[in-house]
Amino acid sequence: MLKGKKIVLGITGSIAAYKAALLVRLLVKEGAEVQVIMTPSAKEFITPLTLSTLSGRAVLSEFFHSESGAWNSHVELGLWADAMIVAPATAATIGKMAGGIADNLLVTTYLSMKAPVLVAPAMDLDMYAHPSTQRNLDILRSYGNHIIEPAEGELASHLKGKGRMEEPQNIVERLRELFFVKGPLAGKKILVTAGPTYEKIDPVRFIGNYSSGKMGFAIAHECARAGAEVTLVAGPVALPTPHASIKRVDVESARQMHAASSEAFRACDAAILCAAVADYRPSQQADKKIKRTDENMTIELEANPDIAASLGAVKREGQLLAGFALETNDALSNARLKLKKKNLDFIVLNSLEDKGAGFAVDTNKVTIIDDSGATEYPLKSKAAVARDIVAHLARLFMMLVLLFAPLTIEAQELNATVSLNTSKVQGTNTEVFTVLKDALTEFINNRRWTEYTYEEYERIACNFTFVVDGYSDDGSFTCSLMVQGSRPVFGSTYSSTLFKYEDKGIKFTYQPYDRLEFNEDNLDNNLTAVIAFYAYLIIGLDMDSMGELGGSEFLNRALNIANNAQNLGDSGWRAGSSNNNRYTVIDDYMNGAMEPLRRLYYKYHRLGLDTMFKDAEAGRKVITECMTMLQEAYNNRPLAYITKLFTEYKQDEFVNLYSFEGGAAEKQGVVKILSEINPSQSDAWDRILRTR
Ligand code: PMT
């Protein structure tokens, strides 16, 4: 999955720098190209020679090459990279990144970085816990950077606590997830315009308006968070670029905005035009400051291009175009007129008659209008309004997919990505791994696990990531398996995780070109039994999410496999051997005590998440109600592992759902339940409470 990816690895002066060598090796082994940048103090802990040998590239550290005087271009590195990892990241470097203190090559490269950034802190426990460090990490999070929380354990100071840099294997895993995780706008290119335009009268005066750019920047931010590649054409505003991956083009006049937008739109899938563009500009622009006289003065104005209308005129099939309407009277009818006249797919109406809406404020009150009708939203933060707009856009993209999709396709149920990480078993013949990966992909994706006919777009996305812990030439394997299944959220391209679990110590034998056989009633192959178990479990949970307890047939099949596999010599099947193995996971799901959790699957996904894309507030309320069902399942069996597991794989979703939405009492109620079930994720739950 990392093959061909270009990674900038920033190393800072921490005792954990020695782990960077393994990190480079793992990345290179996965096929990534790695460019190491070291801060001067990092060189006290590990030599550049070690890292350049492992990465196959000269390590960069200074702004200029000492002998040739050549400039090490951080700008080019920012454009070159697919991702940047800062590991280990000291408190000092985190502070500099948060504050934009560009006094070394690592930080200047970070500031120029167009790609996602992962930060793996390493420091003493008190430094890590200090409010200053935590505030800086929050700032990095708000820039869209991914913080890889340090682990707990013995630190260089011999104290025990949180501060150890995460293990290189796990950092690589996070990187893989980053490339795999798809937001609702993943793969889409979106143009956003924002801010006012200034139309020059003379060198010191202009015609402009009160737009601050806040609304447009919030939309650009939300599109980037949703996985889109965003070009932000910004008029003169005093706002920082809201997300590291956004390409920003600064302009001043309407004509400049027109040129930049027309250029960008050609390559885009959609545009959201939020800028307050001046409709007129002075016909003449004086070279010198116009002097005051006692006479009245008239400025002749001529029409500026209508950017929205000109993009509407060249819009291709499949491209989507959205505009804004800022009205002071007859709001709805004027907005509808603009929707038609400019050939828009939807228009976002905001009216200056509404208190707290429009220019400069941090809130807005909008109505989204398209051919199917008008949806009015309450007053919200501009960030929340941006989320509603992105959800609407994602829904329209989904409808386009459905429109162009063939009606019925004979498709199997699972759409799995299989990967095999073999970094732990070196020096062995790699053919077996390639062949096994292909065989597994074929086995999982081409087999019909049910009698139902699935549409192509209904196939369940899942990941089977094997880490080969041991292999010998007689074909015997010991593996860990990270298995994850997710379901699409109706009306968007966002996927919600249904199940994610790490299964350790799986033993099986495989020789190249062995056929992978599976017979549910006569299990004789541990590998295919494990795969079939998870296939049925994921299908069952997917069906539970579609209709209340709808997946019983498939969950029962998974239970059947667990019962019949007791003699396959794998402790993961053994009843009662642990509260965290395959047998207990399925036994828990099928136990009446856990029924509230299974009922929750339907309510949470079908009535909660699916609704959110039409009405975020209503959907979230349903999800909050689901917390009571989770609590009920937990109270029924506090030691059952699956309630805890559920909170783990839904953790990011919960944080996203509640961080910026919901009242204080609602958040506290949710966090109380989550903290009781899973106190080990207290950092995440605190994040829900910390944000406004
Ligand atoms: O920037 P903020 O302070 O956060 O304020 C946000 C906002 C009020 C500016 C924003 O929410 C908004 O309403 N933007 C559109 C303002 C506007 O120019 O509306 P309009 O009704 O005049 O234009 C209709 C649409 O045509 C808009 O999408 C506009 O971008 C576009 N347009 C207008 C004129 C023109 N010459 N070219 C255009 O493309």
pLDDT digits (tens, 9 = 90+) for 11-45: 999 999 999 999 999 999 988 999 999 999 999 99
Considering the domain boundaries, does residue 139 fall inside one?
yes
Whether the per-residue pLDDT at 385 is higher than 80: the answer is yes
The answer on 160 and 112 residing in a single domain is yes
In which domain, by residue range, is 58 found? 6-179
Q: Which atom of ligand 1 is nearest to the CA of 278?
A: 36
Whether 199 is covered by a domain: the verdict is yes
Please indicate, yes or no, whether residues 202 and 314 belong to a single structural domain of this protein: yes
Total domains in the fold of the chain: 2
Ligand 1 pocket, Cβ-based, cut-off 6 angstroms:
195, 211-216, 254, 273-277, 279, 304, 306-308, 323-326, 338, 350, 358-360
* Pocket mutation for ligand 1, best pick of 212, 277, 337 (most atoms within 8 Å of C-beta): 277
Estimate the share of the chain in helix, then strand, then coil, as percent rounded to the nearest 5. 45, 20, 35
Interval 393-452: pLDDT, tens: 987 887 776 666 544 445 689 999 999 999 888 776 778 898 899 889 989 998 889 888
Domain boundary, last residue among 330, 359, 388: 388
Alpha helix stretches (DSSP H) within 422-462: 431-446
The reply to whether 138 and 235 lie within a common domain is no
User: Does the pLDDT at position 180 exceed 70?
Assistant: no
Burial label, 340 (beta-carbon count in 10 A; 0-12, 13-18, 19+): exposed
> pLDDT digit string (tens) for 259-273?
999 999 999 999 999
Q: Note whether 286 and 156 are same-domain residues.
A: no
Per the domain annotation, does 106 fall within a domain? yes
Question: Residue holding tokens 């095999």?
Answer: 420
Q: What is the pTM of this model?
A: 0.49
Active site residue 579: no
The answer to whether residue 129 sits within a structural domain is: yes
Please check whether residues 276 and 195 belong to one and the same domain: yes
**192-to-271, 380, 457, 549 alpha-carbon distances in Å:** 6, 20, 29, 43
* Token reading at 670: 């949710």
Q: What is the pLDDT of residues 583-604, one digit of tens each?
A: 999 999 999 999 999 999 999 9
Is 206 or 432 the better-scoring residue by pLDDT? 206
DSSP per-residue string spanning 376-406: E--SEEHHHHHHHHHHHHHHHHHHHHHHHS-
Residues 107 and 207 in one domain: no
Residue 168 counted as domain residue: yes
**Residue range 292-303: average pLDDT?**
95
Domain limit, last residue, from 141, 157, 179? 179
In CATH, what number is assigned to the domain containing residue 131? 3.40.50.1950
Label residue 242 by pLDDT band (50, 70, 90). confident
Taken in order 240, 365, 196, 259, the sign of the CA dihedral is: positive
Is residue 46 in a domain?
yes
CATH code where residue 229 lies? 3.40.50.10300
- Which atom of ligand 1 lies nearest, measured to the CA of 308? 39
d(C-alpha 233, C-alpha 231), whole Å: 6
Pocket test for ligand 1, best of 199, 211, 336 (most atoms within 8 A of CB): 211
Domain-embedded: residue 553? no
Q: Would you tell me the crossing angle of helices 582-590 and 552-564 to the nearest 10 degrees?
A: 140
Residue 423 lies in a domain: no
